[in-house]
Amino acid sequence: MRSKRKNPFVRLCSVMAGIVLLCAVYHPAFAAQAEKPSKWWQKTIAYEIYVKSFKDSDGDGTGDLRGILSELDHLKNLGVGAIWLTPCFVSPQKDNGYDVANYYDIDPAYGSMEDMENLIEEAKKRKIRIVLDLVFNHTSNENEWFQESRSGRDNEKSDWYIWKDPGKDGNAPNNWRSIFGGSAWTYDEERGQYYLHTFLPEQPDLNWANPEVRRALIDVADFWVEKGVGGFRLDAITYIRKPEDFSDGKPDAGDGTVGIHAMTANTDGILDYLGEFKAAVQDGTDIFTVGEANGVSADELPEWVGPDGVFDMVFEFSHVSIDVADEMNWCKTRSWTLPELKACFTASQKTTESTGGWYPVFLENHDQPRSISHFLPEGADRVAGGKALATLVLTMRGTPFIMEGEELGFVNVSWDDIEDYQDISTRNHYQFALDEGYSEEEAMEGVHHFARDSARTPMQWDQSENAGFTEGTPWLPVYEDYSVYNVDSEMADPKSVLNWYLTLSRLRGEHEELVTGSYEELFHDDEQIFAYTREKDDKKAVILINFSAQEASYDDACIEGARLLLSTNENNVKGRLAPFEAAIYQAAA
C-alpha cells in the first residue's frame, strides 16, 4: 500500500534552496532586512489552544474561556506571549467552530463576550496577547448572511456566496471535490441553485469578489482589534479567490472528481484582496497576522511575508505534508528521509530570512498528527523524542508555535473503533478508504496515522480523573497515559519534556541569536542528525539533533572550542549524539 509517488511539496523543497539564493541577491527587500525592527511577536512564543479541549470550568465536558483564564499561569511559565485560540464564535460546531454563524459573539458552549473581554485583559496583565482565528473563506450555513443569500436571487446578499446553476442533467456545475470528500457543490432547494463549499456542505464559501463581502469581513476584524486582541490567524486563506473558469478539472480520483485545492488554491489576484485587508485592518496597529497558506510555495513567500507582504507570517505545509502521498487517501503514505525533511525547513528558513520575512516554526497544529508519532521512528522514546523535537521548534528562526499538549510529549491516539473518532474529516477519510476497496483494518491504520482527533484530545493537567480537564464527561476521551503525562507530574520531574521546554524557552530569551540570527544547515546528507547554526553579530549557536534511536557520530570541527550550553544527555560527548539527543553549543562567530 505504500506509494512512492513524489510529493510535490517535497519536490519543490529540493529546488527551493537555489531559488532562495537568487532571491537573496536580487530581491530589493534584502537590503532592508538589517533595519527591520524587532516586533513583540517576533520575540515571543505562540501557543495554540484548541478551546474545546483545553480546560472545562463548568463540568459540561467541553473546554471554555473561563477554563483558559484559570490556566494562564501555565502559559506564562512557558514564556508564551501570544495565544492562538481556535474559533470560539457562535457556531453549530459541524467542524468544531470552523463554521461560524455569528462573528460578533461567543458560542455559549465556550462562554460569553464578557468572558472573552476578561480573558483579553487578564492575559494582557501577564504580557500575553490573545490571537483569534478568523474563518473567512466560508461561514456556517446557519450564518444569517447565508440564510439571506439562499432565500432568492434578488436579495441584498444574493451574491455573497458562490452560486451556480445546475450543470447538464441537473448535476453539480463541475467535478470539483471538497477537501473533506464528496462534491464541492450542494444543491439548495430554496434558491434552486448549487453553492460552492471548499470544505463541508455546512461551510459555504464566501464570494470575496464582491466588495461588500470584503467590507463585512474587515468590519469583523476591526471589531476584534477594538476589543484588544493581539493578532489573527487567517484560516484556509489560500482558497478565498476563485478562478474565472469554473469548468471541470482533470480527474485525480476513480470517481472522476478533482480535488478543489488544485483548482482554486492561490489563484492570481489573491494578494490584492489580502493587501486591501491588511491596509484596512492592520496598518497603524501592533497586531500580527499569520495566514494558513496551504498552496503557497517558498519562492512566493516574499510577496506573502516579506517587508511589504500581506501577512507577518504564513504557515506553509511542506514539512508536515512530507508523508502525504494522496491528500484524500490516508492509506497511502509516502516514505521520506531526514535530508528531505531538512530541505523543507531550510527552504522556508532561508527564503524568509533572505527576504526580510518572518516564519512561524511549527510541527503540530489541530489538523496534524502529533509530532513524535509523525516525525520520529515508531516506538521512539517519548521523553527523549519530545525533547529532540522541542529543540528544533525553539531554536529555528521565527516565532515558535506550540500546540497544546506538545509541551507534554503527547502522541497519536490509536482507538480501535471509528465511532470513537469525532472529527468529520476523519470519518470521511475512513469511508473514502472503504469505498476505494481498502479493508477496515487498512482504513483504521490510515486513521491512526493522520486523524485530526489525535491533536484534539483533552489537555492533561494532573493525575485526577479525566486528567483535571473536566469534572463531567469529556467530549473526546482523555488519552490513557494521563497519569504520567500531565502538567503537575511533569513540572515535578526535572527530566520531563515540559521542563525541557521551560529550559529552552529561558535559553531563547537570553540568546538573541536563537531568535533573529541567520540560519545555516550543516551535514545535509546525514540521515540521522539535523544540525544547523544560528548566528548574529559575534554570537553563534550550533544545534545538533539526533532524529534516530541509534547513536550518531559527526565531525566535531563545527564545535571546536565551543561551549556546551545545553544537552538532553548528561553524558554529552563532542562528536557523538546519544539516541534522540539534542545539544546546543555556543561557538565564537
**Annotated catalytic sites, by residue?**
235, 292
Following DSSP, what letter does each residue of 521-539 receive, concatenated? EE-TT-SSEEEEEEEETTE
Among 179, 206, 331, 347, interactor with ligand TEU by CB under 6 A: 179
Least Å distance, CB 142 to ligand TEU, is 15
Residue nearer to ligand TEU on the CB measure, 233 or 534: 233
Among 9, 50, 89, 98, interactor with ligand TEU by CB under 6 A: 98
Least Å distance, CB 160 to ligand TEU, is 18
Q: Work out whether strand 89-90 and strand 529-536 pair parallel, antiparallel, or are unpaired.
A: unpaired
Site string for ligand TEU, 542-571 (x = CB under 6 A): ------------------------------
Q: Work out whether strand 193-196 and strand 185-188 pair parallel, antiparallel, or are unpaired.
A: antiparallel
**How distant, in Å, are the alpha carbons of 37, 160, 194, 218 from that of 212?**
35, 8, 21, 10
Residues composing the chain = 589
d(CA 348, CA 444): 33
222 Rama class: left (phi>0) / alpha (psi -120 to 50) / beta? alpha
Q: Is the dihedral of CA 199, 204, 210, 214 positive or negative?
A: negative
Asked whether 206 and 148 are in contact (CB, 8 A), the reply is no
Q: Is the dihedral of CA 136, 137, 143, 144 positive or negative?
A: positive
Asked whether 442 and 333 are in contact (CB, 8 A), the reply is no
Following DSSP, what letter does each residue of 397-410 receive, concatenated? SSEEEEETTGGGT-
d(CA 228, CA 346): 35
Least Å distance, CB 23 to ligand TEU, is 25
225 touches ligand TEU (CB under 6 A): no
Residue nearer to ligand TEU on the CB measure, 98 or 194: 98
436 Rama class: left (phi>0) / alpha (psi -120 to 50) / beta? alpha
Residue nearer to ligand TEU on the CB measure, 7 or 391: 7
Among 71, 95, 188, 316, interactor with ligand TEU by CB under 6 A: 95
DSSP H stretches of helix in 126-269: 144-150, 211-226, 260-264
Residue nearer to ligand TEU on the CB measure, 367 or 381: 367
Residue nearer to ligand TEU on the CB measure, 93 or 174: 93
Least Å distance, CB 351 to ligand TEU, is 20
Query: Residues in contact with ligand TEU, total (CB under 6 A)?
Result: 14
Following DSSP, what letter does each residue of 287-303 receive, concatenated? -EEEEE-TT--GGGHHH
DSSP annotation of 111 reads -
Residues 417-476 that bind ligand TEU (CB under 6 A): none
Among 199, 232, 358, 362, interactor with ligand TEU by CB under 6 A: 199
Q: Which residue is nearest to ligand TEU (CB)?
A: 98
Least Å distance, CB 203 to ligand TEU, is 6
135 touches ligand TEU (CB under 6 A): yes
> Buried (b) or exposed (e) across 356-374, using 16+ Cβ within 10 A?
bbbbbbbbbbbbbbbbbbb
Least Å distance, CB 346 to ligand TEU, is 20
Residue nearer to ligand TEU on the CB measure, 129 or 456: 456
| Gyration radius of the chain's alpha carbons | 23
Least Å distance, CB 367 to ligand TEU, is 4
Residue nearer to ligand TEU on the CB measure, 20 or 236: 236
Residue nearer to ligand TEU on the CB measure, 320 or 376: 320
Site string for ligand TEU, 263-302 (x = CB under 6 A): -----------------------------x-x--------
The dihedrals phi and psi of 206, each to the nearest 5 degrees, come to -75, 155
Residue nearer to ligand TEU on the CB measure, 87 or 474: 87
> Buried (b) or exposed (e) across 399-420, using 16+ Cβ within 10 A?
bbbbbbbbbbbbbbbebeebee
Among 367, 436, 481, 521, interactor with ligand TEU by CB under 6 A: 367
Residues 233-262 that bind ligand TEU (CB under 6 A): 235-236
CA atoms within 13 A on the CB side of 35: 5
Site string for ligand TEU, 298-337 (x = CB under 6 A): -------------------x--xx----------------
134 touches ligand TEU (CB under 6 A): no
Q: Which residues bind ligand TEU (CB under 6 A)?
A: 95, 98, 135, 179, 199, 235-236, 292, 294, 317, 320-321, 366-367
